[in-house]
Amino acid sequence: MSADVGEQAGAGQPRVGGRVKTVVVTGASAGLGYHAAEQLAAAGHRVVLATRNRARAEAAERSIRRHVPTATLEHLHVDLADLDSVCAAAAALQDLGPVDALLNNAGVVGSRTERFTPQGVELQVGTNHLGHFALTGLVLPMLERTGGRVVHLGSIAHRWASLDRLDPFRVGHYVGYRQYGRSKLAVMLFGFELAERLADAGSAVASVVAHPGLALDTLGAQRPLVTPARDEPAWVRPGERLIAQGKDAGAHPLVHAAVGDGVRSGQYWGPGGPLQLRGPAAVVRAEPRAHDRAEAARLWLASESRSGVAFALDAFA
């Protein structure tokens, strides 16, 4: 980490490369996406705030500029649940110049009731995986020109998830937290499989999966314009800190995967502490099911069919 980044961002920040890069962060108006965007801006990078809600994006920009006055920020409207919006966003991104990294962070977490995207896909899988699958495929040629990276937001929830072997998008009996785990397993299967296919195609693009551990708003640096007010008693926090960390710390593996030194395609970055719940960014282990290439191939074919987006990897050979 350079001295100026350390002074702005404080101790514990991830290491970042020295060249200024353009990083697109989906879901940058709150939570992990916001903190990743702020950290990237503090490191001197140009950040594209890719969000669904313009008012929340503007609030996030005001907050980032309050803490990083020199921040270079752009806005990109995208609703990851709507594939038409994803296509429009990918086209608009062409006007913003070179892209060095795409941080696929946005997501729906544990919807209590079963909901669907405009294209009829269950909302959590449709947003967390399929929207990002389509966006990645459409933006990939831009990343190829810069030798960039795609970062996929995984989760420890993939440890308890499985996909239907005949139809990866099949839900069956809906349980919100279980469907969230499935969505994250799909994200990770895609991320690791993309790394393999990019390597086979001789592409310069890296595909990296990262996760935040157990990251809570209540333990992180407060950002009143974007962070929900703390509503639990203060005495709870010391216990929480034993097993969790703030979302600002949870963003460190994501930022490092996007712009850090020593990152290789196919790696999995997360907190290096016990059970990967908290701790400094490190290369960590994913469950074997996230590396199942037969499962990934089924998911890939189904995702291309559902999204209408095909990856032109042959063009990189």
Please say whether the beta carbons of 25 and 103 come within 8 A. Answer: yes
- Token pair for 211: 């996760």
What element of type H or E holds 206? strand 206-210
What element of type H or E holds 269? strand 268-271
- Token pair for 266: 């196919």
Annotated active-site residue 180? The verdict is: yes
Give the residue from 142, 192, 188 showing the smallest Cα distance to 168.
Answer: 188
| DSSP code for 129 | I
- Give per-residue burial for 154-188: e unless 16+ CB within 10 Å, then b: bbbbbeebebeeeebbebeeeeeebbbbbbbbbbb
Say which of 34, 174, 177, 180 is annotated catalytic.
Answer: 180
Cα separation, 97 vs 95, whole angstroms? 6
- Residues tagged active-site: 180
